[in-house]
Amino acid sequence: MIDRITLQALARLSPRMVAYHMKRLARNKLCRVAPNAYAWHIERVSARVQKLVPAPALPEQSLAVAAFYNGIYAPYIDNAAAGQFVYFAQHADFGNAASVNWHHTVDAEKDFHLWRQKFGHMGFICPMLIHGNDLHLAAVADLLARFREQASFSTPGCFSSYWFPYSVSHRILAILSGYLVARNRRSLPERLCCEIEEFLRFNIGFVLANIEHELNNNHVERNLAALCFYYSNVPAPCPTIVHQLDRNVTAIIQDTILSDGMSVERSAMYQGLSVMSLQVFAQTPFLSPKTRVLASERLKQAIRAWHFMAHPDGDIALFNDSWLGEVPKPSQISTSPKFAEIETLDSAGYARLCRGDIFALFDAGPIGPSSNPGHGHADFLSIEVDVAGTRFIVDPGTYQYSTGPRRMHDRAAAEHNGPAARGVEPVSYKGAFRVGRLASARFASPSESTACGVAGELSLRSVQVRREVSLVGGGLAVSDCWHGRTSGAQTRLHVPDSWTLMSYDASAVQFEREGVAVCISVSVGKVAAVSRGNWACRYLENRVAHVIDLQPKIEPNRTGLLQWKVHRI
């Protein structure tokens, strides 16, 4: 029996997405009964993949891709050579590179093993090839040999980890970029070169047979970026593949990169990966001029949008599925542009406010693309606020993807800091990524009294909510309003416990950190409670937060009003 949430999610899929879902299910069933037959199929596809011929002059495309993986993994190449790996604060020591276990899981994860998937990206091989010595290069050969030995299509869960097409695409991008840069700068052992090129061809064959059109979004972005990158380094790509890639690249850019440059999934983390994909597309020589121009134009907008979503500390916002450390900081890839005190990304529904010591990002947009909003959170009308360059009011973040109470907590409207009503959730979830009922906030016209600010609105089943955010003097003023059902109306704020709670009463809460004192003062409504809770700015790393519940003043006409301000003392 299919539940209601699943039916709602299925109803929004395009016929093409349904067809590819069926193809994936057929593949999984085939591999359970005949894994060798599927391996033979991928070998036939990969046998037709043309061999690499690295250009004498290193293309800018290779440097752009290598910058992502090198920036993240370069400090850890000695550990990787010794068979030691740390992802998401979870350690694994296999003794040496020849003994790694590509099936490794960590206790913190349940039904979605992102650690194993991330391990399968092999991002560490990029800097090992570029910067490593003979020991590192020998370890690369051992890692590839061990993968070929263990990574069978018959292994349960292989298609959601190391043979997940998304992971395979990262693996191609990481290894190929490191290989091309290393080949240009140094001499690599001939045997290792042959092993790497053969390994890449098999992975390319797998992606060609498994482009994730059923998921679309950042998955297809990554698949196509890997294919374009590889075929940019062969002498004369197959015309059929060139035609298919040109058509699919144009479609994915138009589908997933909004006119203001923001990814349709509205995640600053995935935005960084979209920037990398667009860099590849814009520099792929065999794509049509029209497609390359489209990619170049969206790339400029995407880079600006990525910087738009960065805090003064240089790192990204945590709206929707995002965490720190998965992609480089925007400033590591490009120079930050200048922004006005108040700017908006109108298509994405984000606003940026900055004056003096106060910085804020405001979310007044949809949860994500209706066909697949799996990375969306119900953070409607939420804000992230920094004071004196330090994060002060934070998003609950993303602790994990595995199904369970914490995943639901991180995505629920009641745990975000937009104006909410207990018991009224605008979005329904099931499992790690399935979304049933949807909702969408939108920008609204600020009131006449809000000269330096922005406003947003959200319609729920029984209540209409509105938030205005404005720069006032040296602080940030927020006005939250509820119309309709006002029982359970609240605004819940999370402040990291790196800020010390100094005092609080019904009208104010004061914090201090490294000599900076900040007050959340309430002029209409009250501080209802201050307690302890959780947030996460890095995957699988729980952090403690002060949780402040603000309660509006309820008027007889079924209106609730809450006015509060963040300012330095």
pLDDT tens-digit series, residues 325-348: 999 999 998 898 999 999 999 999
Whole-angstrom distance, CA of residue 461 vs CA of residue 480: 18
Residue 19 has pLDDT above 90, yes or no: yes
**What average pLDDT is seen over the chain?**
94
Report pLDDT for 32.
Answer: 87
Give me the mean pLDDT over the 463-479 stretch: 94
Do 373 and 324 have their domain in common?
A: no
Do 320 and 379 have their domain in common?
A: no
Give the CB-side neighbour count of residue 348, counting CA atoms within 13 A.
33
Instruction: Choose the final residue of a domain: 163, 184, 207.
Output: 207
Do 318 and 383 have their domain in common?
A: no
Do 237 and 156 have their domain in common?
A: no
Give me the mean pLDDT over the 450-458 stretch: 88
pLDDT category at 259 given cuts 50, 70, 90 is very high
In a domain, 350, yes or no: no
Do 513 and 424 have their domain in common?
A: yes
Do 116 and 255 have their domain in common?
A: no
The encoded tokens of residue 165 equal 């097409």
C-beta pairs of 553-556 under 8 Å, 24+ apart in sequence = 553/524, 553/525, 553/526, 554/486, 554/489
Report pLDDT for 486.
Answer: 86
Do 148 and 37 have their domain in common?
A: yes
Report pLDDT for 253.
Answer: 98
Report pLDDT for 450.
Answer: 67
Return the minimum-mean-pLDDT range out of 90-94, 313-317, 423-427. Answer: 423-427
The encoded tokens of residue 206 equal 């797998």
Residue 106 has pLDDT above 80, yes or no: yes
Do 223 and 258 have their domain in common?
A: yes
- Provide the 10 A C-beta neighbour count for residue 106: 17
376-393: per-residue pLDDT in tens? 999 999 999 999 999 999
Do 182 and 218 have their domain in common?
A: no
Instruction: Choose the final residue of a domain: 156, 177, 207.
Output: 207
Whole-angstrom distance, CA of residue 261 vs CA of residue 486: 37
Counted domains in the chain:
3
C-beta pairs of 314-318 under 8 Å, 24+ apart in sequence = 316/268, 316/269, 316/271, 316/272, 317/268, 317/361, 317/384, 317/395, 318/268, 318/384, 318/394, 318/395, 318/396, 318/397, 318/398, 318/537
- DSSP codes joined into one string, 34-71: -HHHHHHHHHHHHHTSPPP---SSPPHHHHHHHHHHHH
Residue 148 has pLDDT above 90, yes or no: yes
Residue type, 227: L
Do 308 and 443 have their domain in common?
A: no
Residue percentage of the chain with pLDDT more than 70:
99
Report pLDDT for 2.
Answer: 79
Residue 451 has pLDDT above 80, yes or no: no
Report pLDDT for 59.
Answer: 86
295-317: per-residue pLDDT in tens? 999 999 999 999 999 999 999 99
Give me the mean pLDDT over the 118-135 stretch: 96
* Burial class of residue 26 in the structure, from the number of CB atoms within 10 Å of its CB (0-12 exposed, 13-18 middle, 19+ buried): exposed
Cα→Cα distances 501→14, 507, 510, 519, 543, Å: 50, 15, 6, 10, 16
CATH number at residue 413: 2.70.98.70
User: Containing domain of residue 223, as a range?
Assistant: 211-338
| Global model pTM greater than 0.85 | yes
- Provide the 10 A C-beta neighbour count for residue 507: 14
Cα Dmax for the chain: 81
Report pLDDT for 1.
Answer: 66
494-549: per-residue pLDDT in tens? 999 999 999 999 999 999 999 999 999 999 999 999 999 999 999 999 999 999 99
161 with 117: CB under 8 angstroms? yes
In a domain, 128, yes or no: yes
Do 125 and 232 have their domain in common?
A: no
Return the minimum-mean-pLDDT range out of 257-266, 349-358, 443-452. Answer: 443-452
Give the residue among 396, 358, 361 at the shortest CA–CA distance from 377. Answer: 396
Instruction: Choose the final residue of a domain: 207, 242, 260.
Output: 207
